């Protein structure tokens, strides 16, 4: 097998492969011998199946296996002999015919990873403070628990406060058009959106039962209903009832209902969990800081042709999505989006090069146990079974992305565990 490599620039290589007839014939003969010895066909004794019968029944499968073996050998030679580490998928021709009676040729392009000097990534100095939980933080979390077990109480003869709830009859109009109306609508004073319109808090605070309120709001340019964009909406409502959350009493009974022995036990457990969460958050921040520092100082050639291909692919999806949404002036919107995508892809590729190099040096591997742990963590976030999530990733052919994420997490841990901490 002869491989000729031409440098096309921007880390893209043209690969020309020539496989002599003798090498092709040997592979087909090996396949033929294996079938004749191991496959049983009715009417023929084992090992006595004629070659023409084997070719008739298994020729297509043999062709596919020979092609797969040749591709494997080509990519292995590119990496081991020519030191080319392929980035992404090779740009192979759609059709490549291999037959037992002719030499084989193949021409394609690949994007490659650059060779670069990696700066010292261990022993980086990073500031770190001792993690503590203050009484104020503990009280804040206890109050969150009290709120979750609290009771909404009807408020008499008092105006609304910032954390109250209003029960009101609401009407929203644009010009003469009524776009939304609802009786006894439940309105959260602290965070309210009515029919996609954000209601300012000052329009809701200080209201009393029986009070009628009316005001106007400009409809934003990105409003869901295009015909209303840029117009003015009139919001009218009449307060029917005010409710206020009464926090649960903070006592031993409250603690017991949460599975603790008493209030002190609850506080101890909560402080311990908060401390653990805070340490985890600190570790994540440290890892991100160390990675960002390495990326900032990393001087590496980027595969601009590869990046341009990815952005072009994103443009196709962007235009299709915008057309499906019925949007206009798509080209102008793409011009705003395109520089962001170029920057995003440059950052992603640069990070990939850095992580991959450390993975190579540290001999980081991904085990089945690592994958199970990854999908187990995802199951908590998505509230789905781990096997269900994994099956979906496998069906979408996204397991390589998962393995990269696992390797990246391990690299981040290496950076953090080998950092030099200063106060």
The residues of the chain that CATH labels 3.10.50.40 are: 151-246
Residue 46 banded pLDDT, cuts 50, 70, 90: low
What confidence tens digit (pLDDT) does each residue in 293-305 have?
999 999 999 999 9
> Could you give the CA distance from residue 204 to residue 187 in angstroms, rounded to a whole number?
9
The CA distances from residue 209 to 110, 160, 164, 174, 239, in Å, are: 71, 9, 13, 26, 5
Is the CB of residue 389 less than 8 Å from the CB of residue 402?
Answer: no
What confidence tens digit (pLDDT) does each residue in 54-108 have?
677 777 888 888 889 999 999 999 999 999 999 998 999 988 888 888 899 999 9
The residues of the chain that CATH labels 1.10.3120.10 are: 283-422
Task: Tell which residue, 294, 300, 335, 287, has the closest CA to residue 315.
Answer: 335
DSSP 118: P
> Could you give the CA distance from residue 86 to residue 12 in angstroms, rounded to a whole number?
10
Contacts for 27 with CB less than 8 Å, ≥ 6 apart: 66, 69, 70
pLDDT of residue 47: 66
Measured in residues, the chain has a length of: 423
Full-prediction pTM beyond 0.85? no
pLDDT of residue 11: 94
Hey, what CATH topology would domain 2-112 get?
Answer: Alpha-Beta Plaits (3.30.70)
The CA distances from residue 272 to 138, 258, 265, 368, in Å, are: 10, 16, 11, 31
**Is the confidence at residue 246, as pLDDT, over 80?**
yes
Is the CB of residue 1 less than 8 Å from the CB of residue 18?
Answer: yes
Long-range contacts (CB closer than 8 Å, 24 or more residues apart) made by 195-204: 196/223, 196/224, 196/225, 197/172, 197/223, 197/233, 197/235, 199/235, 201/162, 203/235, 204/160, 204/166
Task: Tell which residue, 159, 176, 158, 156, has the closest CA to residue 213.
Answer: 159
SS3 annotation, 183-239: EEEEEECCCCEECCEECCHHHCCCCCCCCEEEEEEECCCCCCCHHHCCCEEEEEEEE
Hey, what CATH topology would domain 283-422 get?
Answer: Trigger factor, domain 2 (1.10.3120)
**Is the confidence at residue 34, as pLDDT, over 70?**
yes
DSSP 337: H
Residue 190 banded pLDDT, cuts 50, 70, 90: confident
DSSP 94: S
* Across 283-293, average pLDDT: 95
Cβ atoms within 10 Å, residue 334: 15
Place of tokens 């340490």: 279
pLDDT of residue 407: 97
Q: Tell me: domain 151-246, CATH 3.30.70.1150, correct?
A: no
Task: Tell which residue, 192, 63, 121, 154, has the closest CA to residue 362.
Answer: 121
Residue 38 banded pLDDT, cuts 50, 70, 90: confident
The residues of the chain that CATH labels 3.30.70.1050 are: 2-112
> Could you give the CA distance from residue 305 to residue 292 in angstroms, rounded to a whole number?
25
The CA distances from residue 331 to 318, 323, 338, 417, in Å, are: 10, 11, 10, 48
Place of tokens 């097998």: 1
Is the CB of residue 419 less than 8 Å from the CB of residue 123?
Answer: yes
Task: Tell which residue, 168, 173, 166, 187, has the closest CA to residue 216.
Answer: 173
What confidence tens digit (pLDDT) does each residue in 254-282 have?
999 999 999 999 999 999 999 999 999 99
The partner residues of 108 in beta bridges, in order of sequence, read: 15
């Amino acid at each position: 097998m002869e491989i000729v490599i031409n440098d096309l620039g921007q880390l893209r290589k043209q690969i020309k492969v020539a496989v002599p007839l003798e090498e092709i014939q040997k592979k087909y003969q090996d396949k033929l011998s294996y079938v004749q010895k191991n496959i049983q066909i009715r009417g023929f004794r084992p090992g006595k199946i004629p070659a023409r019968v084997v070719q008739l029944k298994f020729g297509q499968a043999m062709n596919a296996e020979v092609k797969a073996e040749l591709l494997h050998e080509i990519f292995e030679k590119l990496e081991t002999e020519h030191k080319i580490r392929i980035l992404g998928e090779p740009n192979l021709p759609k059709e490549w015919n291999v037959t037992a009676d002719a030499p084989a040729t193949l021409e394609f392009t690949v994007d490659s990873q650059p060779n670069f000097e990696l700066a010292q990534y261990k022993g980086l100095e990073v500031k770190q403070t001792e993690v503590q939980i203050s009484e104020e933080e503990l009280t804040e979390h206890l109050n969150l628990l009290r709120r979750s077990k609290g009771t909404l109480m009807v408020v008499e003869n008092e105006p609304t406060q910032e954390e109250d709830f209003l029960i009101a009859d609401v009407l929203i109009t644009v010009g003469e058009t009524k776009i939304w109306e609802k009786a006894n609508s439940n309105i959260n004073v602290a965070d309210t959106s009515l029919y996609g319109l954000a209601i300012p808090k000052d329009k809701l605070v200080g209201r009393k039962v029986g009070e009628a309120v009316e005001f106007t709001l400009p409809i934003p340019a990105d409003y869901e209903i295009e015909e209303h964009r840029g117009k003015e909406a009139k919001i009218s409502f009449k307060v029917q009832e005010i409710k206020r959350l009464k926090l649960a009493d903070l006592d031993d009974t409250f603690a017991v209902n949460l599975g603790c022995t008493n209030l002190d036990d609850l506080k101890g457990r909560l402080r311990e969990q908060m401390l653990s969460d805070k340490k985890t958050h600190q570790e994540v921040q440290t890892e991100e800081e160390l990675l960002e520092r390495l990326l900032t100082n990393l001087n590496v050639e980027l595969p601009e042709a590869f990046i341009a291909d990815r952005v072009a692919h994103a443009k196709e999806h962007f235009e299709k999505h915008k057309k499906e949404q019925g949007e206009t002036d798509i080209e102008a919107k793409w011009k705003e989006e395109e520089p962001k995508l170029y920057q995003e892809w440059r950052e992603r590729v640069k990070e990939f090069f850095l992580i991959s190099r450390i993975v190579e040096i540290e001999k980081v591997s991904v085990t089945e146990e690592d994958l199970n742990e990854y999908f187990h963590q995802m199951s908590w976030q998505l509230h789905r079974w781990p096997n269900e999530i994994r099956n979906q990733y496998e069906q979408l052919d996204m397991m390589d992305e998962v393995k990269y994420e696992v390797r990246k997490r391990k690299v981040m841990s290496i950076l953090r565990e080998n950092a030099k901490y200063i106060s």
